[in-house]
């Protein structure tokens, strides 16, 4: 099931003395996070923060929140996880959030065998690695075009062509 409010970053510190915060974005780029005027501090969307300005700075986002005007006020937000409302986003065709992969069933493109379900995603730099669990065992699958054939988030189904040796004893 798709969550309405999605974790998108964490306030990791303050910036300056006028209440700006430094946010570690959990997105493909820091620029993604700069497009939102409202973020939330809970997964139910009950506690909102109005963003008056934000800008990418290297690999973080510097953000000014309305009503937070001093370093002391900003410090109270340190370590808060930020959430965005899925309804505030329009994704490109074929794009999805990593969290939407969790729980998806994975099938072999050639045999239609159920290979398990995605339980986690690791970011390695070169490509993401999906963690697939079946019968108590965990398999690591690179998320690359040669392996991932189709991702159908709405039906919670992923089709892959696994590399030799991952699900069997081949070399």
Instruction: Verify that 19 and 84 share a domain, yes or no.
Output: yes
Taking residues 25-29, report their average pLDDT: 87
10 & 79 share domain: yes
- What is the rounded average pLDDT of the residues 115-128? 90
> By residue range, what is the domain housing residue 72?
5-88
**pTM for this prediction:** 0.77
Query: Which pLDDT score is estimated for 171?
Result: 44
Average of per-residue pLDDT values in the chain: 92
Q: Which residue has the tokens 């159920």?
A: 114
Name the domain boundary from 88, 114, 143.
88
pLDDT, tens digit (0-9, with 9 covering 90-100), for 144-158? 999 999 999 989 999
Q: How confident is the model at residue 169 (pLDDT cuts 50, 70, 90)?
A: low
Does position 142 have pLDDT exceeding 60, yes or no? yes
> Is the model more confident about 36 or about 125?
36
Whether 83 and 155 map to the same domain: the answer is no
Q: How many domains does the chain have?
A: 2
- Is 29 or 74 the better-scoring residue by pLDDT? 74
Higher-scoring residue by pLDDT: 142, 95: 142
Query: Which residues does 105 contact at the CB level (< 8 Å), separation at least 6?
Result: 114, 116, 117, 156, 157, 158
Structure-token pair, residue 11: 């306030």
* Confidence (pLDDT) at 54: 97
User: If pLDDT is split at 50, 70 and 90, which confidence band does 57 have?
Assistant: very high
DSSP letter string, 94-134: T---GGGGTT-EEEETTT--EEEEEEEEEE-SSSEEEEEEE
My answer on whether 69 and 111 are in the same domain is: no
pLDDT band of residue 3 (cuts 50, 70, 90) is confident
Q: Are 73 and 21 in contact (CB under 8 A)?
A: no
Could you tell me if 13 and 70 lie in one domain? yes
pLDDT score of 27: 84
User: Residues 68, 116: one domain?
Assistant: no
């Amino acid at each position: 099931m798709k969550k309405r409010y999605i974790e998108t970053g964490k306030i990791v510190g303050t910036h300056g003395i006028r209440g700006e915060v430094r946010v570690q974005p959990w997105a493909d780029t820091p620029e993604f996070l700069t497009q939102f005027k409202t973020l939330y501090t809970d997964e139910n969307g009950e506690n909102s923060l109005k963003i008056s300005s934000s800008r990418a700075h290297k690999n973080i986002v510097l953000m000014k929140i309305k009503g937070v005007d001093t370093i002391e006020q900003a410090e109270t937000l340190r370590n808060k996880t930020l959430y965005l409302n899925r309804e505030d986003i329009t994704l490109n065709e074929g794009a999805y959030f990593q969290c939407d992969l969790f729980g998806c069933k994975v099938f072999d493109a050639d045999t239609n065998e159920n290979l398990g379900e995605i339980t986690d995603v690791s970011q390695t730099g070169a490509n993401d690695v999906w963690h697939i669990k079946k019968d108590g065992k965990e398999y690591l699958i690179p998320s690359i075009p040669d392996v991932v054939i189709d991702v159908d988030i709405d039906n919670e189904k992923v089709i892959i062509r696994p590399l030799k040796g991952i699900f069997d004893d081949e070399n």
